[in-house]
């Protein structure tokens, strides 16, 4: 009989406890031995909880208990989660986390600490909720040279964009609906401005390319500027999605970005709607594989934490978690102006005759009384921004500039 502890009894932490007792027998069979939740750490009181006897307020009770072998960290935020996680790992207690903020900020350090103490720091739940993505990426695809990863990694923004696409709602109305349904927080900045997706692509980038990528080195643009006009115009060729992606640019450099992009209808990613997430991985062996599922929510996220707990419990003496190097600087992260893509431009219909001198060979996808929109050949973002400047010098205001996702 081994003992586990859960840090934080919020949405995910309570989900872990719920899922564990629901499927206890199956989980124990998979882990190979009996298990129980011995402690739940939370500063709040839960007098009516069936687990009220398990609640503690100090991490010391857990790390000094001597019986706890695995901890689920479901607190969120960097502190005190970082300190608590270090205390566990230093005692050889494996930690399974859903805390993307902490992994994105301190993953390198915590993975090294786990390795040094012959235990595991697992973080499957930190990216893509229920979707198995971390373990498949570093285990199953180990034979590949991964050339790029592109994902819809934030359910809130995907819900909002889906409402704009399918129901013709404006951004503000779709956001309000998302808040009413509990998909968006009252302060939605972390989601709609792309910071949540940024943390996740940092984790994926670090894992795939072996060096810690910090969120502040990643170009991040959210969806607050997305206009319904563009959603409707691009419907002919694809769907606007908030894409978090990373590509290998050279042997030494990578380019991670978070920004709205047009996903062509031919890509399965364009069919990923509502709160669902998906991650498309490109590599020299696999060509492409995609993982799809619920990127958030109580039980989906708890499922990922639980999978990690089973793995940690089954192999308590084996270091299975992947490490990556600390990065002393960001010089291996390329500037987003190097992004290469077909580019979508929208301008006022009145200006359309002024475009030809600046951009020939473009495919016109809309030319009506109000709007003129076209898609260029593949350009670098630098070239696209230069084109935008040239148009401005010709008296043409570019209303929208969006890159197309290429697979």
Q: Is the dihedral of CA 332, 122, 258, 379 positive or negative?
A: positive
Q: Is the dihedral of CA 220, 326, 324, 211 positive or negative?
A: positive
Query: How many residues belong to the chain?
Result: 407
* Contact flags string 231-270 toward a second copy, x per CB under 8 A: -------------------------------------x--
Give CA–CA dist 179/182, Å, rounded.
Answer: 5
Residue 13 to residues 6, 68, 387, Cα–Cα distance (Å): 6, 17, 50
* Contact flags string 298-317 toward a second copy, x per CB under 8 A: -xx-xxxxxx-xxx---x--
Which of 215, 256, 293, 403 is in the footprint of a second copy by CB under 8 A? Answer: 293
Which of 78, 141, 349, 359 is in the footprint of a second copy by CB under 8 A? Answer: 141
* 361 contacts: CB under 8 Å, gap ≥ 6: 376, 377
* Interaction residues for a second copy, span 54-113 (CB under 8 A): none
Q: Is 22 a residue that touches a second copy (CB under 8 A)?
A: yes
Q: Is 318 a residue that touches a second copy (CB under 8 A)?
A: yes
Q: Smallest distance from the beta carbon of 71 to a second copy, in angstroms?
A: 16
# residues contacting a second copy (CB under 8 A): 54
User: Which of 244, 277, 236, 252 lies closest to 365, judged by CA?
Assistant: 236
Q: Is 364 a residue that touches a second copy (CB under 8 A)?
A: no
Closer residue to a second copy (CB): 167 or 172: 167
Give CA–CA dist 53/39, Å, rounded.
Answer: 8
Give CA–CA dist 95/85, Å, rounded.
Answer: 7
Whether 108 and 206 have beta carbons less than 8 Å apart is answered as yes
Which of 75, 259, 272, 402 is in the footprint of a second copy by CB under 8 A? Answer: 272
Which of 5, 12, 20, 379 is in the footprint of a second copy by CB under 8 A? Answer: 20
Catalytic (active site) residue 86 = no
Interface stretch with a second copy, choices 15-23, 45-53, 171-179, 191-199 (CB under 8 A): 15-23
| DSSP conformation class of 192 | H
Residue 25 to residues 30, 36, 54, 276, 312, Cα–Cα distance (Å): 9, 11, 20, 29, 17
Q: Which residues of the shown chain bind a second copy in the complex (CB under 8 A)?
A: 19-20, 22-23, 26-27, 29-31, 124, 130-132, 135-136, 138-145, 210, 268, 271-272, 283-294, 297, 299-300, 302-307, 309-311, 315, 318, 320
Q: Kindly list the catalytic residues.
A: 200
């Amino acid at each position: 009989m081994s003992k586990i502890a859960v840090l934080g009894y919020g949405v995910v932490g309570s989900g872990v406890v719920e899922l564990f007792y629901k499927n206890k027998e199956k989980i124990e069979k998979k882990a190979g031995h009996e298990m129980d939740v011995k402690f739940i750490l939370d500063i709040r009181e839960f007098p009516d909880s069936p687990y009220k006897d398990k609640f503690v307020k100090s991490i010391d009770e857990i790390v000094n208990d001597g019986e706890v072998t695995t901890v689920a960290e479901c607190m969120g935020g960097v502190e005190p989660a970082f300190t608590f996680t270090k205390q566990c790992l230093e005692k050889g207690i494996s930690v399974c986390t859903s805390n993307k903020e902490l992994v994105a900020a301190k993953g390198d350090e915590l993975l090294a600490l786990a390795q040094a103490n012959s235990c595991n720091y697992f973080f499957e739940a930190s990216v893509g909720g229920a979707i198995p993505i971390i373990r498949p990426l570093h285990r199953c695809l180990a034979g590949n040279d991964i050339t790029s990863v592109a994902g819809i990694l934030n359910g809130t923004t995907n819900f909002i964009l889906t409402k704009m696409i399918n129901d013709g709602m404006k951004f503000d109305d779709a956001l309000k609906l998302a808040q009413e349904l509990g998909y968006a927080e009252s302060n939605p900045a972390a989601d709609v401005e792309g910071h949540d997706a940024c943390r996740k692509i940092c984790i994926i980038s670090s894992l795939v390319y072996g060096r810690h990528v910090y969120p502040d080195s990643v170009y991040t643009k959210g969806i607050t500027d997305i206009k319904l006009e563009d959603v409707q115009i691009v419907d002919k060729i694809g769907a606007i999605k908030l894409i978090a992606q990373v590509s290998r640019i050279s042997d030494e450099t990578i380019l991670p970005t978070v920004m709205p992009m047009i996903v062509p209808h031919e890509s399965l990613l364009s069919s990923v709607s509502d709160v669902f997430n998906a991650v498309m991985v490109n590599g020299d062996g696999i060509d492409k594989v995609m993982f799809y599922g619920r990127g958030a929510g109580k039980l989906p996220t708890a499922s990922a934490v639980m999978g990690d707990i089973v793995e940690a419990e089954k192999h308590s003496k084996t270091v299975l978690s992947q490490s990556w190097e600390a990065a002393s600087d960001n010089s291996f992260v390329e500037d987003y102006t190097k992004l290469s893509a077909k580019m979508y431009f929208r301008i006022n219909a009145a200006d359309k005759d002024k475009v030809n001198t600046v951009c020939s060979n473009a495919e016109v996808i809309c030319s009506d009384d109000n709007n003129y929109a076209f898609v260029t050949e593949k350009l670098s973002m630098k070239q696209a921004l230069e084109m935008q400047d040239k148009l401005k010098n010709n008296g043409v205001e570019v209303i929208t500039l969006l890159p197309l996702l290429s697979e």
